[in-house]
Amino acid sequence: MVNPGRLNCEHVWSEISNYVDGEVDAALRSSMDEHMKTCARCASVLAGTRNVVALYGDERMLEVPAGFGRRLEKRLAKGSAVKGSVWSGLSAWLVPVAAMVLIAGGMMLTSSLTHGHFFRSQHAVPASNIPPDLVVVVSSGAKLFHVPGCPFIHDKATERTLTAKEAMQEGYMPCPRCLRQYLKTSLTGKPGAEVAEGEEEEHEELVNASAH
């Protein structure tokens, strides 16, 4: 801390910068003013320092290379386009990804309708080439769909008519007797093998066995 009452040149020089910035208290400022009235060197230092601050603080001292603004604008335009395209870029990714997810989901759903637990039986036999608009019947409490008139329809009182496509979408699987020509795997391992006569429950057992 400088004692304002006993200023020498070194003290003044050490506070010149604060003085120029207006960061000295009134007492010190007064003492420095008094000192500089009689000290040519310190007055010169103060004037020179002010001159430096004024000159370098002038906007004209901030020069940029020719074309700087144009190049900056160009790069910013490019950069903002990149940022602006973040969402469009994402959407460009998201659209095909979403499409793939939908397709995959559809395939899984279709697959599950024919292979998975969406079947009313966990052991469905895959069918192929069943005409989707083939008229079939299902009955309440059963797991198979049949061609109309199949003797293995479980409960004819609750018989309901629909297309093969709709039946499969509801989780029914084809009767291995009346629709065996469409089964990928016959009960005997050979397409078209005969199934023993019996109730639909027996068919279910056989279907289950074939699935294993």
Q: Determine, following the binding rule CB under 8 A, whether residue 162 of this chain makes contact with another protein.
A: no
The least CB distance from residue 64 to another protein, in Å, is 5
Q: Determine, following the binding rule CB under 8 A, whether residue 28 of this chain makes contact with another protein.
A: no
Q: Distance between CA 132 and CA 136 in Å, rounded?
A: 10
Nearer to another protein, 61 or 157 (CB): 61
Q: Distance between CA 138 and CA 169 in Å, rounded?
A: 12
User: What is the footprint of another protein within residues 41-80 (CB under 8 A)?
Assistant: 41, 43-65, 68-69, 71-73, 75-77, 79-80
Are 149 and 118 in contact by the 8 Å Cβ rule? The answer is no
Nearer to another protein, 14 or 128 (CB): 14
Closest CA to 46 of 19, 11, 10, 7: 19
Q: Determine, following the binding rule CB under 8 A, whether residue 14 of this chain makes contact with another protein.
A: yes
Q: Which amino acid, residue 155?
A: D
Q: Which residues, listed in sequence order, are joined to residue 135 by a DSSP beta bridge?
A: 163
Q: Determine, following the binding rule CB under 8 A, whether residue 89 of this chain makes contact with another protein.
A: no
Q: Which residues, listed in sequence order, are joined to residue 163 by a DSSP beta bridge?
A: 135
Contact footprint for another protein (CB under 8 A): 10, 13-14, 16-23, 36, 39-41, 43-65, 68-69, 71-73, 75-77, 79-80, 83-84
